[in-house]
Amino acid sequence: MALITSFDPWRNKLCSCPAKYSLSAYTGCNHGCLYCYASSYIKDFGRPREKKDFLKILSREIKKIPPGSIITIANSSDPYLNLEKKIKLTRQALEILKNYDLKINLVTKSSLVLRDLDLLKNMKKILIAISLTCLDQKLARKLEPRTPSPQERLKTLKSLSAYLPVVVRLDPLVYPLNTENLESLIKQIKSSGAKQIITSTYKIKPDNFKRMVSTFRQHQNLWQALYLEKGERKNNYIYLPEKLRKDLISRVKKLALAENLGFSSCREGFNQLNTALCDGSSFF
């Protein structure tokens, strides 16, 4: 199928997600996150555009998806981009999907998702994942320049969680930028109504590393030593050394469990630390 694709066509050995599909109305993204991985494999990534004949193709392909399947919206874009305000393709896609026996996992950083609360509340199986990296507005402005502030995302989370299951992707952990003060972040995530925290560490791709070091010059030497000299290469990404990753992930787990939140890490190889399915789908 051209539009609804297998979530992990490359069969990444580190991925422990249940089998699922991926769907996006848009190609590219306007949020400008420095650490973005999708920008390395999508042309003109910072110029988001709608997919041609999206609704027509979706209506055709959705009939072939087995009942009960999970569809994630979206993995290499945000379903609530600026474009969505006007052309509402994500909303129209949800209107189609609600007529099928499917589990829908919406992943977003945008408060625009609240516009569709009326519709989301009436969907049979829906899970929202809000991505959040820190509480510090200045840091967030540099790391994710065109996204809603952390406080706005927490408010969005609170409004959604009154009606729907919501998990948080505390993702990525960029050592040492956002790996301090995790306690207050996780407490606020809990008090805003999330059910689970999903986390992973930042991985280097050549283009995201260029953006990171040009913005955070003070960490260039440290990152070069940790990633390029001591790090691990896996599936075309460069990871932090295993011990440091495990320490960071374990710290998040401890804080999550202290708040009675579900916990999982994503594509780190530490599945034994997970207390819930790695993508939050335990909460459908």
Which residue in 25, 38, 204, 252 binds ligand SF4 (CB under 6 A)?
A: 38
CB of 79 to ligand SF4, least distance (A): 10
d(CA 136, CA 154): 12
Closer residue to ligand SF4, CB minimum distance, 190 or 200: 200
Q: Binding of ligand SF4 at residue 199 (CB under 6 A)?
A: no
d(CA 212, CA 209): 5
From 177, 80, 175, select the one nearest 134 (Cα to Cα).
177
CB of 213 to ligand SF4, least distance (A): 18
Q: Binding of ligand SF4 at residue 78 (CB under 6 A)?
A: yes
CB of 156 to ligand SF4, least distance (A): 14
88 contacts 116 by C-beta, under 8 angstroms: no
CB of 151 to ligand SF4, least distance (A): 18
CB of 39 to ligand SF4, least distance (A): 6
Q: Binding of ligand SF4 at residue 77 (CB under 6 A)?
A: yes
Closer residue to ligand SF4, CB minimum distance, 65 or 198: 198
Q: Which of residues 18-37 bind ligand SF4 (CB under 6 A)?
A: 29, 31-33, 36
CB of 152 to ligand SF4, least distance (A): 14
Q: Which of residues 97-126 bind ligand SF4 (CB under 6 A)?
A: 109
User: For the range 223-232, what are the long-range contacts, defined as Cβ-Cβ under 8 Å and sequence gap of 24 or more?
Assistant: 226/175, 228/204, 231/204
CB of 150 to ligand SF4, least distance (A): 14
Closer residue to ligand SF4, CB minimum distance, 125 or 211: 211
Closer residue to ligand SF4, CB minimum distance, 78 or 279: 78
Q: What's the first-to-final CA gap in the chain, in angstroms?
A: 25
Closer residue to ligand SF4, CB minimum distance, 42 or 244: 42
Closer residue to ligand SF4, CB minimum distance, 107 or 197: 107
Total residues in contact with ligand SF4, by rule CB under 6 A: 10
Q: Which residues in this chain contact ligand SF4 in the complex, by CB under 6 A?
A: 29, 31-33, 36, 38, 76-78, 109
